[in-house]
């Protein structure tokens, strides 16, 4: 089976969140299971592009409305990622340093999708599955089936994976001219709420739809930023598959990004060494429990609640814990979090931005990982935390519900709370401090956490079943 993954992100080429991690790992493990999986994504100007070797695979030309353009498909030449990585180069449109955040993002990702479909249309042997990820690749199933120039592709099966339904790629009807010549009788497939909605179109047109956790799939029919009715109507072709993690990258016994290696037999000493190093670097107290937040500083992650909750917790617990925040996003939240540094020197610090190495160091050093998310389709951070013997403190929603068992329940290894509120977060911090003092219970929770299997090997079969159901 030949599978083409189309995505805006793929680690290590370009990553803004969990989408990049998933697309960077899933095809590798599909190939290990005997399929042929490749990735195609935009050619951003990232360090990975500049530091690796590439070979030209194809040169083509097509158009966005009245703009005719050339595009080039290049491929990473060594195959070292465990899959073939193809990049779409459109001069002046995709060759930029950032993934998102440009005024013409609609045009950028429209150009990417048109180029991908145009390229696939040239293949002598067509793929078995085109697997599209999120709205940035959401119009590909429509174009394959209903654009006159691509009728060669109309019988190729398509799968949509939704990583976050809050972002939908909606655009005005004036943008319809950017879609290559299409069957006007199919206008209803493009439309949602009087506009073109890329995600909604993908849900309607894809042969199968997956989300990144079973709970999130259920959640979409009641909370999906206006698409609730659509998910209710299309539920028969939807399935939730919990994300996996790449155990070759996320392994505390071999991780090149952490200073001290450890496994489940040496976790106590190993984590303390990493904790000592991180605390020395960021002026924190290594004798106290270390609570870390890693993620985008946006409302989805409840980052706006963090400054008040942390201040309240530090005042209430009388210096009973350290906090380290890693992330970037809303500038007012960044400022509020930075302000706390001067109020609580020696027990609180921030790293505004994201650095992959610092993230790995934090997982290896932290005692607890805080995830108060309002919306968390799957969440990978809690899975990384478990792998590193770090206890997750999570709001009971989406994928966090599916992957964390509260320490008050049988076999529990985490801390769960119901609301993304200061009160619930502070109460959970108090629970964390108490269990940290109970060395026997803490040790048992860590051991249970590190034995959890969330590897890609454990979930590949579910994707195989999806593909086979439409083949």
DSSP string spanning 296-364? -BSGGGTGGGHHHHHHHHHHHHTS--EEEEEE-B-HHHHHHHHHHHHHSTBTEEEEES--HHHHHHHHH
How close are the terminal C-alpha atoms of the chain, in Å? 9
CB 55 within 8 A of CB 78: no
Please give the backbone phi and psi of residue 392, each rounded to the nearest 5 degrees, phi first: -80, 135
Question: What value does the mean pLDDT of the chain take?
Answer: 96
- Whether omega for the bond prior to residue 247 falls within 30 degrees of 0, making it cis, is no
Q: Which two tokens stand for residue 261?
A: 């290696």
In this prediction, residue 319 carries a pLDDT of 66
pLDDT category of residue 354 using cuts at 50, 70 and 90: confident
Give the C-alpha distances (Å, rounded to integers) separating 285 from 279, 282, 317, 434: 6, 9, 15, 17
CB 39 within 8 A of CB 31: no
State yes or no: pLDDT of 318 exceeds 80: no
Average pLDDT value for residue range 446-467: 95
Positive or negative: CA dihedral 184, 190, 193, 196: negative
In this prediction, residue 6 carries a pLDDT of 98
State yes or no: pLDDT of 8 exceeds 80: yes
Distance (Å, rounded) from C-alpha 446 to C-alpha 440? 10
In angstroms and rounded to an integer, the radius of gyration of the C-alpha atoms of the chain is 23
pLDDT category of residue 184 using cuts at 50, 70 and 90: very high
Give the C-alpha distances (Å, rounded to integers) separating 403 from 7, 204, 426: 25, 29, 22
CA atoms lying within 13 Å on the CB side of residue 23 = 33
Helix (H) or strand (E) holding 460: helix 460-470
CB 404 within 8 A of CB 242: no
CB 189 within 8 A of CB 198: no
Q: What is the pLDDT of residues 151-176, one digit of tens each?
A: 999 999 999 999 999 999 999 999 99
Write the CB contacts of 381 (distance below 8 Å, at least 6 apart in sequence).
294, 295, 369, 371, 392
pLDDT category of residue 67 using cuts at 50, 70 and 90: very high
Which residue, 133, 153, 117, 142, is CA-closest to 192? 142
In this prediction, residue 313 carries a pLDDT of 95
Average pLDDT value for residue range 200-208: 98
Which residue, 105, 175, 96, 179, is CA-closest to 136? 105
Percent of the chain with pLDDT over 90: 97
Neighbours of 85 (CB within 10 A): 26
State yes or no: pLDDT of 47 exceeds 70: yes
Q: What is the pLDDT of residues 249-291, one digit of tens each?
A: 999 999 999 999 999 999 999 999 999 999 999 999 999 999 9
Distance of CA 182 to the CA centre of its chain: 32
Domains and CATH numbers, the chain: 2-245+457-470 (3.40.50.2000), 267-454 (3.40.50.2000)
Average pLDDT value for residue range 229-245: 95
Q: What is the pLDDT of residues 400-418, one digit of tens each?
A: 999 999 999 999 999 999 9
State yes or no: pLDDT of 396 exceeds 80: yes
């Amino acid at each position: 089976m030949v599978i083409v993954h189309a995505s805006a992100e793929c680690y290590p080429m370009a990553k803004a969140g969990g989408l990049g991690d998933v697309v960077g790992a899933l095809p590798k493990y599909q190939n290990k299971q005997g399929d042929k999986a490749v990735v195609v994504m935009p050619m951003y100007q990232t360090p990975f592009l500049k530091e690796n070797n590439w070979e030209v695979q194809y040169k083509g030309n097509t158009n966005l409305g009245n703009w005719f353009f050339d595009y080039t498909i290049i491929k990473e030449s060594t195959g070292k990622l465990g899959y073939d990585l193809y990049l779409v180069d459109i001069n002046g449109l995709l060759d930029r340093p950032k993934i998102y955040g440009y005024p013409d993002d609609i045009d950028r990702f429209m150009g990417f999708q048109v180029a991908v479909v145009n390229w696939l249309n040239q293949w002598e042997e067509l793929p078995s599955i085109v697997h599209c990820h999120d709205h940035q690749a959401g119009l590909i199933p429509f174009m394959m089936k209903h654009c006159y120039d691509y009728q060669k592709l109309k019988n190729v099966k398509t799968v949509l994976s939704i990583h976050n339904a809050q972002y939908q790629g909606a655009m005005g009807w004036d943008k319809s001219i950017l879609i290559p010549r299409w069957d006007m009788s199919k206008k209803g497939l493009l439309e949602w709420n009087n506009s073109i909605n890329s995600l909604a179109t993908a849900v309607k047109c894809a042969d199968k739809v997956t989300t990144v956790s079973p709970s999130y799939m259920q959640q979409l029919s009641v909370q999906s930023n206006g698409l609730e009715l659509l998910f209710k109507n299309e539920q028969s072709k939807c399935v939730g598959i919990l994300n996996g993690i790449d155990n070759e990258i996320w392994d505390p016994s071999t991780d090149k990004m952490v200073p001290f290696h450890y496994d489940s037999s040496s976790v106590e000493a190993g984590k303390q060494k990493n904790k000592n190093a991180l605390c020395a670097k960021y002026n924190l107290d290594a004798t106290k429990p270390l609570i870390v937040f890693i993620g985008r500083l946006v409302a989805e992650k409840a980052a706006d609640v963090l400054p008040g909750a942390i201040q309240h917790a530090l005042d209430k617990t009388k210096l009973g814990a350290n906090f380290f925040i890693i992330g970037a996003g809303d500038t007012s939240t960044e400022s509020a979090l930075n302000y706390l540094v001067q109020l609580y020197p020696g027990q609180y610090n921030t790293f505004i931005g994201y650095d992959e190495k610092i993230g790995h160091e934090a997982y290896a050093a932290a005692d607890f990982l805080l995830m108060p998310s309002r919306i968390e389709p799957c969440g990978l951070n809690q899975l990384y935390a478990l792998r590193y013997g770090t206890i997750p403190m999570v709001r009971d929603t989406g994928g966090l519900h599916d992957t964390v068992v509260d320490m008050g329940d049988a076999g529990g290894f985490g801390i769960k709370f119901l609301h993304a509120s200061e009160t619930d977060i502070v109460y959970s911090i108090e629970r964390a401090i108490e269990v940290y003092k109970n060395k026997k219970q803490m040790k048992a929770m860590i051991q249970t956490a590190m034995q959890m299997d969330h590897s890609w090997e454990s979930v590949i079969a579910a994707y195989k079943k999806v593909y086979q159901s439409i083949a």
